Amino acid sequence: MERKIGVYICECGPNISEKIDIDKVIDAVSPIEDVAVVEKFKLLCSADGKKFLEEQIKKNSLTHLVVAACSPKDHEKTFMMVCENAELNPYLFQLANIREQCAWITEDKEEATKKAIRLVKAAIGRVKYHSSLEKKEIDSIPDVLVIGGGIAGMEASLQLASKQRNVYLVEKTSDLGGLVKNYEKTFLGMKPISDIIDEKTKKIDSNGNIKVFKDSEVEEAIGFFGNFEIKIKRTNEESEPVEINVGAIVLATGSALFNPDKTPEYGYGKFENVITSLEFEKMNLSGKILLKNNKTPNSVATIHCVGREERGYCSEICCMYSLKFARYLKEKLPNVKVSNFYSDLCIPGKTDQKFFNQTKEKNVGFIRSSNIKLTKKGEQLNIEYDDENKNKQNLLVDMIILSPAMVPNDDATKIAEMTGVSQDDEGFFAEEHEKLNPISTSTEGIYIVGCAKGPKNISDTIVQAEAASGNILSSLIPGKKLEPEVKTSQISESFCIGCKTCLTVCSYGAITFDETKKISVVNEVICRGCGNCVAACPSGAASIKHFKFNQLYQEIKEAVK
Amino acid sequence: MTKALKLNKSAEEGILEFLKYLLESGKVKGVFTLKRISKNSAIAYSLITNPDELKDAVPFYPLMPVNAGKLMSRFTLKEGAKKPVAAILKPCELRGFIELIKREQGTLDNLYIISSICGGVFPSRTEVDRSAEKKLPKYWESVKKGEISPDLRSVCKACEEFIPYTADITFDLLGNNDIDKHSIFYLNTKKGEDLAKDMKGDFSEKEFDRKKLEKINEKRQAEKKKLYDEIGKKMNGIDGLVEIFGRCIGCHGCSKVCPICYCKLCEFESPDSEYSPSNYETELRKRGGIKVPPGTIYFHLGRLTHIGISCVACGQCNDVCPVDIPVADIFKKVGESIQKMFDYVPGKDVEEEIPLVSFKQEEFAEIEE
Amino acid sequence: MNELKGGIIPSKTGIRETIIDLIEKSVDKGIFDAVIIPMKVPSGDSFVYVLVKDKKLLKDGFPLAPTMLVQGAKAVSSVTRLGKGNMKIAAIIRPCEARATVELAKLGQADLDNVTIISIDCPGVLPTSDFLEDPDKYLKKFDDAYKNWDDKIMRPVCQICDKSSMVTGDLHIGTLGAKKDTCFIISNSEKGDSVAEKLDINLNQNLDSWNSKVKAISEEKKKKRIKAHKELKSTVSGLDNLVETFSQCINCHNCMRVCPVCICRLCYFDSDKVKHTAEDYLTRAESKGSMRFLPDTTLFQMGRMMHMSISCVSCGNCEDACSMDIPVGQIFSMIADETQALFDYVSGRSLDEPIPLVAYKKEELHQMEDAND
Amino acid sequence: MKEKEQKKDVLVIGAGIAGIEASLLLSKADRKVHLVEKTSYTGGATIKFEEVFSNMECSTCMVAPRQQELLQDNNINLITLGNVEDVKGSVGDFTVKIHKKARYVDMVNCIGCNACFEPCPVSLKNEFEEGLSERKAIYVPCAGALPNVPMIDTDNCLRFKGKKCTACQEACMFEAIDYNQKDEKIEIKVGAIVVASGYSLIDTKPLSKFSYGKIDNVYTSMEFERLYASNGPTEGNIVLRDGKNPKSVAIIHCVGREEKGYCSSVCCMYSLKFNHYLKSKIPDIKISEFYTDLCIPGKSHQKFYEKMKETKVDMIRFNEIEVAKQGKDTVVKYSTKGKKNTLPVDMVILAPAIEPKNDASELAKTLGISKDDYGFFKEENPYVSSVISSKPGIFIVGCAQGAKNIQDSVSQANAAVGKVLSLS
């Protein structure tokens, strides 16, 4: 077909016109084959600049457009919009960055002009090989799957469920509430936990749009954002798995406690009356705090940071719930002597320090200590420790509560592999970006909330559940179509030999392996066009739209001619 | 009668002077020819643009490391030559290029084809053991006399197409007794004339020496008969094929170097010709055993059907075969038999359509009767 | 060599017959349904791999063929690439073929679930061109060389091969250091153990004589290998030497096609990426005055080295397939030794050792981070 | 609200990182957003940092793309130099009056070429750079600020003090400077309000024991961030007031913690980050960090601390601490477990406590939401949601609700959007 390329050079006010001899660029570029028109304009990104471009495209019935102006990061979308309005496929357009890459990097006008000419020629060389690409639209399923029925899972389900959006809540055990239902009270305000959980479970049961699967787990989750196919199976019997389709998945699988027998110096399992914080919560919930010999203890010690060395991180909530334990004890056993062994008190945020000061006033001992060793002494337990001045001290107590670190659930790896979510070095689920996308993952449509992504207290967990609903409600709108990435990669069926190198480098899980034909297949809806697979493919079977080898080769050739 | 240019320089110097003139006068921007390219004087086709580089050029050296027709196709595949380029091609290389052009694999725009009445080439292996230099004097003697030198490739000895059909300029080589005294360029086409017109040298009207070329052709035909009888004995029926191709290791080198084999992915290397486990199981049930990897003879038969009609018998496939299977002799014999059916000479005329891919109305009638 | 278990079996008639009837016994016992084994071609002048089920055909099996026209790994891969099927297959191949098969399994090109690899102590392989000159004479020469284990007539790469008895398959037939009329059978996996058990071969017999002989031979070959590589390096290293060595290459890519670990269906150097317009070729030629056409033959060789030298098993098939007699095999096996030493990786050593350039280990990222801190 | 149609628009107060994220997410759900920002630029406190902790990512590279998206998003109506003056109504139907101060520079014509700065005769301390460098009466707070359009500071501009100065207008090639721009009164109707008005640091001058303002080489952490910033006053090299590089530095945590009564949760982490800042510019500098309790919760923070410890910094736990002059040099007098000692240093960096924005109480009154006893906006019930304020339809996110780091602020912003979208 006969190509007619329009080249438009933006003066960008003083920015380009002062630093580059635009007329020289125009003369250098006009004689190039297929170039129909070369013009300059004061400010192309302004309103009348855009109108000018639209008229030019229509008047000269241009087939390709090259704009020499600022960085694509600034106005590539603007000029693509202009193409669309002028009924020119937005991908038959190339932006040469002669501002950041030429005008702003040198005072020498001649050098800047020379480079500008090269860049514009390169853009023209490339645009000739562009092919028009169509935006795709796929319809999305608004429903959501929530895995894990703890506080995080319940909160997310309540937030998301509505008339147009069903929520499927899958819980491994036989009832909702997760670890938290074993606690009697919350530490902020010492409010009874049961009210919070009952209120949420009642709301869930009465909400017609939330379908709960108890004693069940997710067996398979394949697909992409907007269309996941899920298989849910009962944990203990071999019944037929239930198949559902959802648009997004929320992982709220919670966490477990570090097993203290990995730190023998605390004598867990060896000495009686050495119990973990979870065991103490359950004992407290049952109302009777008793030693093994059914006597009430009159001295209790809580040891913080159990397993912090081994795990390599502070689990954030143990200091606060240890303060809560002190209050439980003072309430139930008025003259019990309570002491806490800690290394660093982690009580951030506006309410925690006040809670600590008030607890301290109930004469609870706080001992900063290190390298603690426990030994049995008759019926009691002797805590040998170094105090702040590094000299050895001892303390005899009846009962010891260990506050172990929080670790990922043991089925975390299974779920990670099933959903294609990656895990960080500690085994928790890894978020897409630590700061800006704390609850989304590199697999679009799968969100991680609560302790499944790291130690967190209850109110932060609730915030993250709401944040997940914020993300889903804003991107998975009933009836609204999804627009996946256009510039995706493709793998030629006849050239692919099935060496699976691309599978290892794809960070979005967008490539699956066809076992019968022994070839890799790109799912163009998940693919985000990062190009890893194209670079890794040894034989060139993989290529990516809009960045084809020929397009890049011509661009480079013209630039270095 | 065709216009001819005569230079009283030996064939080797004459052609170099002519090429130098073409480059220096700017008539062409580049010249395709054989050239010594390294310390150990390996010979390879080169694209020369600077006249001083012509000092190492050896245009009529009796070697064909690669079929230049395939190179010209690669040169003009993506986009025709924009600037004029001259190319020294042997007749079978030119015919190979013409067959490729018929398959949209190249164009003749801006190309000036200089060919020669070809004296044949040595097998590539002769270059490996450096024996080519030693055989040159005997070779040029037999060229002058129009005889067949024993060191030639088997297909060259039996080649009847040693006169190029559509070259712009034909250099009088085979059977020309005084090639060390002067060189004669037959300017067959207008393009050929334009190239040579302001060259210093005497122009005249000359005629091919039909009689002499006839005699050379008879010698080649006798040689061909011998070749066909010998290969005919071996190739009787399927057992014969198993006998000849038994050694084939499936390296597909013959298809890689063949000027007519232009597919980006050969059908016999593609997924469709792979055996799945169930294919193997049925084969074992039927015949108890199968060669692995399978399909060696299937490949050769398939290639014969695909390119037989266009095989120009250049002999490259013989030289590349690591287990010395006489692939070229077989393809020449079978190719010729197919071509005779349609009395088609591959590469003779770029306008003539390839029989098997074009359909003529009256052919339908023949089948009806 | 880690401590291998093995037994001693009678071998009165000669190693080939011993292997054939070992296989026949296994097929009778239903251990294997089919066998991949070399066999003489009808014209008698070559040996090819066949997949055999019928016992009568099995008789003409010819383990330890004098030539290696097709690499055994390519045979196993072509049978199992599209799936393991439901036939139990035994593959009678040489150690370097076994190693190449393991590499191909890791590259997704072979499925070894139903395959039992049986390797044999390997005296080396005759160069194809020598063998084809006079097949019968050279077969006899090969058998003599095999008796007194001298490798003078074998391929250059075989003469310096220090892994000729490396056990990476499931079973290995050891003839070195064996007493008269016996040979060793060494198991290297559960599969191997179960086959030996079904054939009631006792696997915990003394292998010291085999181990010491193998150790002695491979040490001697190692010394020769280092010397040979040093000499070769001086003639080939440096860009002009490299260009000189490959100046005769005619780009027929035979070496790539016969290489067991070169698995791409379309090589980068055959793809569109190396085809340019006339204008480009002319401009490039103008920059130097004259340009070889097709250009970049040496670039193809270096590209191939870069892609496959990590998996190269130094079998030397490429050298035999080169129509211009370029010592490709020796050059590539020298480069492969150095590449693999970088990652202290031996190609084909074990199935569960990931190929370095393809596997990504998390700590490698930290190494890079700390590198530029 | 059944009979009256729910308003779909949303008001977001404060264009810091929390405000930006909330606006972008609301716009993604096709909601019209009015983003009111008191200053002339977006990015809030985050763009003042050069790098952010745990993976030391460059902060502007992280935030600038989001700011660009914000400026190009036609669902978001950014009102800079805007102040919320009055809010009436209730959830689903608020009427908000906004006073927008005039910028005196046309946002459409100006392309940020900065030609108007140079001729301006007035020069004064730049608040954005914590007073460490100067700015003109017509100015952009720092290089790379977005929107990249200057404003005229009417308190100091000579023209607004009666002089006939038109220096900047003449220098502008685009007639973008228009002195007779007027302040505007804008009234909008919105369904919900997200408050992301951010925080300030406690004023360390009154805390006399730290001698901030008395001793030259005592800096606050924000001042130090600007010293290290590549677009800051010293283009990133760490120099004292006398221009020399410090050889030893003391970083003091928990400044103002007893006065405030809470731990501000981020100072430990950014103080450790300062290690990286100092060591990367002055490799053999001697650093001592004075802390009471190391508060580094979360999975990646302790690893960051371990990595910093490798750079051989000595961590000193203190009970009392004081910064004083001893002869010529500055000394840190501190006591640990009763033992007193002093440490002479060239430079002291204070990590002041985070407190509510200085106009927070006024904003609370306008919005009619209650404050907690520290002056932050009060969340109704942390166990229902910490983003719900005392008034339905008004949500509080980021440090306006309490001291927290960037990721927790962003999570709260997303949570507030979740609440807004599930309102209707």
Q: What is the pLDDT of residues C241-273, one digit of tens each?
A: 998 899 889 999 999 999 999 999 888 898 888
Establish, for the pair of chains A and D, how many residue pairs have beta carbons separated by less than 8 Å.
187
Name every chain B residue with its beta carbon within 8 A of the beta carbon of A498: none
- Provide the whole-model pTM: 0.73
Please report all neighbours of D, defined by 3+ CB atom pairs within 8 A.
A
The CA distance from C90 to the nearest CA of chain A, in Å, is 23
Considering chain A, what is the average pLDDT of its residues?
Answer: 90
| Helix/strand/coil percent split, chain A, to 5 | 35, 25, 40
Establish, for the pair of chains A and C, how many residue pairs have beta carbons separated by less than 8 Å.
51
What is the average per-residue pLDDT within A498-514? 85
Name every chain B residue with its beta carbon within 8 A of the beta carbon of C254: 251, 253, 256, 320, 322
Q: CA of A518: which chain B residue's CA is closest?
A: B271
Across the beta sheet with A64-69, the strand order is: A35-41, A5-10, A64-69, A93-97
The CA distance from B223 to the nearest CA of chain C, in Å, is 25
Q: Which of A133, A163, A185 finishes a domain?
A: A133
CB distance from D382 to chain A under 8 Å? yes
- Does any domain span residue A558? no
| pLDDT above 80 (res C357) | no
Strand partners of residue A512: A521
| Residues D348 and D361 placed together within one structural domain of the fold | no
Which amino acid is located at D67 in the chain?
A: Q
Q: CA of A550: which chain B residue's CA is closest?
A: B78
Q: How many CA atoms lie within 13 A of D144 on its CB side?
A: 14
- Does any domain span residue A262? no
DSSP-derived letter for residue C273 is G
| pLDDT above 80 (res D25) | yes
| Residues A125 and A159 placed together within one structural domain of the fold | no
Distance CA B355, CA C58 (A): 47
Question: CATH number, domain at A231?
Answer: 3.50.50.60
Helices within D103-241 (DSSP H only): 167-171, 221-228
Which sign does the torsion angle of CA A386, A389, A391, A392 carry?
A: negative
Residue A404 contacts residue A309 (beta carbons within 8 Å): no
D273 φ/ψ angles, rounded to the nearest 5 degrees: -60, -35
Q: Are C83 and B277 in contact (CB < 8 Å)?
A: yes
At B169 the pLDDT is 94
| pLDDT above 70 (res D3) | no
Instruction: Locate A173 and state its tokens.
Output: 């055990």
What is the average per-residue pLDDT within B225-238? 89
Quick count: other Cβ atoms within 10 Å of Cβ A251? 30
Q: Are D418 and A458 in contact (CB < 8 Å)?
A: no
Among all chains, which residue has been given the structure tokens 């229902």? D384
A401: alpha, beta or left, given left = phi > 0 and alpha = psi -120 to 50?
Answer: beta
Q: Which residues contact A174 (CB under 8 A, 6 or more apart)?
A: A214, A215
Mean pLDDT check: name the lowest of A115-124, C100-109, D198-207, D337-346. Answer: D337-346
Among all chains, which residue has been given the structure tokens 């961030």? D225
Name every chain C residue with its beta carbon within 8 A of the beta carbon of A535: none
pLDDT digits (tens, 9 = 90+) for B255-287: 999 999 999 888 898 888 889 999 999 999 999
- Does any domain span residue A40? yes
Peptide bond into D147 cis (omega under 30): yes
Question: Which of D54, D337, D372 comes nearest A434 by C-beta?
Answer: D54
| Residues D372 and D270 placed together within one structural domain of the fold | no
Q: Are A517 and B271 in contact (CB < 8 Å)?
A: yes
Which amino acid is located at A316 in the chain?
A: E
- Its domain, for residue D70, covers 10-101+183-198+357-421
Among all chains, which residue has been given the structure tokens 């660009």? D68
- Supply angle C-alpha D59, D61, D62, rounded to 5: 65
Cα distances (angstroms) measured from residue A257 to each of A79, A317, A406? 55, 12, 5
> Which residue ranges make up each domain of chain C?
5-225, 228-372
| Residues D211 and D342 placed together within one structural domain of the fold | yes
Considering chain D, what is the average pLDDT of its residues?
Answer: 91
pLDDT digits (tens, 9 = 90+) for A29-78: 999 999 999 999 988 887 788 999 999 999 999 999 999 998 887 788 88
Name every chain A residue with its beta carbon within 8 A of the beta carbon of D43: none
Quick count: other Cβ atoms within 10 Å of Cβ D270? 20
C70 φ/ψ angles, rounded to the nearest 5 degrees: -110, 130
Instruction: Locate B351 and state its tokens.
Output: 């306008």
Strand partners of residue C355: none
At A526 the pLDDT is 83
pLDDT digits (tens, 9 = 90+) for A146-181: 999 999 999 999 999 998 999 999 999 998 988 888
Question: Which of C82, C251, C266 comes nearest B274 by C-beta?
Answer: C82
Q: For residue C228, how far is the Cα from the chain centroid?
A: 19
Cβ-in-10-Å burial (0-12, 13-18, 19+) of B185 comes to buried
What is the average per-residue pLDDT within A449-466? 92
CB distance from A493 to chain B under 8 Å? yes
pLDDT band at D174; cut points 50, 70, 90: confident
| Residues D368 and D349 placed together within one structural domain of the fold | no
| Residues A217 and A277 placed together within one structural domain of the fold | no
Which amino acid is located at C271 in the chain?
A: S
- Assign 3-class secondary structure to A16-29: HHCCCCHHHHHHHH
| pLDDT above 90 (res A20) | yes
Q: Are B271 and A493 in contact (CB < 8 Å)?
A: yes
Strand partners of residue D316: D290
pLDDT digits (tens, 9 = 90+) for D45-97: 999 999 998 888 888 888 988 998 898 898 999 999 999 999 999 999 999 99
Identify the three-state secondary structure at position A95.
Answer: strand
Q: Are A539 and C268 in contact (CB < 8 Å)?
A: yes
| pLDDT above 90 (res C223) | yes
- Does any domain span residue D177? no
Q: Which residues contact D265 (CB under 8 A, 6 or more apart)?
A: A348, A349, D295, D403, D404, D405
Name every chain C residue with its beta carbon within 8 A of the beta carbon of A539: 264-268, 271
- In chain C, which among 318-337 make CB contacts under 8 A with chain B? 320-325
- Does any domain span residue D166? no
| Residues A446 and A367 placed together within one structural domain of the fold | no
Question: CATH number, domain at A516?
Answer: 3.30.70.20
* Structural domain count, chain A: 4
| pLDDT above 90 (res C104) | yes
pLDDT digits (tens, 9 = 90+) for D329-373: 899 999 987 789 999 999 999 999 999 999 999 999 999 999 999
Strands D354-356 and A210-213: unpaired
- Does any domain span residue D4? no
Q: Which of D353, D387, D413 finishes a domain?
A: D353
| Residues A164 and A85 placed together within one structural domain of the fold | no
| pLDDT above 60 (res A114) | yes
- Does any domain span residue D158? no
DSSP-derived letter for residue B361 is H
| Residues A420 and A457 placed together within one structural domain of the fold | yes
Helices within chain C (DSSP H only): 15-28, 55-58, 72-80, 95-106, 128-133, 135-147, 156-159, 190-198, 208-236, 239-245, 254-258, 278-288, 297-308, 317-321, 328-342, 362-372
Q: How many CA atoms lie within 13 A of A540 on its CB side?
A: 14
| Residues D308 and D346 placed together within one structural domain of the fold | yes
Instruction: Locate B14 and state its tokens.
Output: 């004459």
| Residues A505 and A458 placed together within one structural domain of the fold | no
Strand partners of residue A228: A223, A246
Name every chain B residue with its beta carbon within 8 A of the beta carbon of C46: 246-247, 323
The complex's ipTM works out to 0.70
Strand partners of residue D193: D11, D394
Q: CA of C109: which chain A residue's CA is closest?
A: A499
| Residues A503 and A438 placed together within one structural domain of the fold | no
Mean pLDDT check: name the lowest of A340-349, B127-136, B153-162, D16-25. Answer: B127-136
| Residues A470 and A494 placed together within one structural domain of the fold | no
Distance CA B249, CA B262 (A): 21
| Residues A374 and A417 placed together within one structural domain of the fold | no
| Residues A237 and A319 placed together within one structural domain of the fold | no
Distance CA A120, CA A16 (A): 14
- Its domain, for residue A352, covers 270-395
**Highest mean pLDDT of the ranges A255-269, B81-95, B134-148:** B81-95
Query: Chain C interface, mutation test: which of A426, A496, A499, most C Cβ atoms within 10 Å?
Result: A499
- Does any domain span residue D258? yes
| Residues D234 and D338 placed together within one structural domain of the fold | yes
| Residues D412 and D316 placed together within one structural domain of the fold | no
| Residues A66 and A158 placed together within one structural domain of the fold | no
Closest C-alpha among A225, A276, A216 to residue A243: A216
Closest C-alpha among B265, B162, B247 to residue B208: B162
Q: CA of B270: which chain A residue's CA is closest?
A: A494
Residue A131 contacts residue A94 (beta carbons within 8 Å): no
Question: CATH number, domain at A381?
Answer: 3.50.50
What is the average per-residue pLDDT within D241-268? 92
| Residues D227 and D339 placed together within one structural domain of the fold | yes
At C369 the pLDDT is 56
Q: Which of D296, D327, D353 finishes a domain?
A: D353
Rounded to the nearest 10 degrees, the angle between the axes of helix A193-206 and helix A151-160 is: 40
CB distance from B318 to chain C under 8 Å? no
CB distance from A514 to chain C under 8 Å? no
The CA distance from C22 to the nearest CA of chain B, in Å, is 19
Instruction: Locate D75 and state its tokens.
Output: 């669902």
Q: Which of D353, D382, D406 finishes a domain?
A: D353
pLDDT digits (tens, 9 = 90+) for C192-215: 999 999 998 988 888 899 999 999
- Does any domain span residue A261? no
Cα distances (angstroms) measured from residue D46 to each of D37, D125, D231? 15, 21, 14
| pLDDT above 60 (res C371) | no
CB distance from B265 to chain A under 8 Å? yes
At C366 the pLDDT is 62
Q: What per-residue string of b and e applies to B273-307 under the rule 16 or more CB within 10 Å gives b?
A: ebbebeebbebbeeebbbbbbbbbbebbebbbebb
Distance CA A426, CA A413 (A): 11
| pLDDT above 50 (res D1) | no
- Does any domain span residue A74? yes
Please report all neighbours of B, defined by 3+ CB atom pairs within 8 A.
A, C
Distance CA B156, CA B224 (A): 9
Distance CA B213, CA B233 (A): 30
| Residues D285 and D341 placed together within one structural domain of the fold | yes
Q: Which residues contact D34 (CB under 8 A, 6 or more apart)?
A: D9, D10, D11, D12, D77, D79, D96, D98, D188, D190
Among all chains, which residue has been given the structure tokens 């985000």? A528
Question: CATH number, domain at D315?
Answer: 3.50.50.60
Q: Are C78 and B275 in contact (CB < 8 Å)?
A: yes
CB distance from C180 to chain A under 8 Å? no
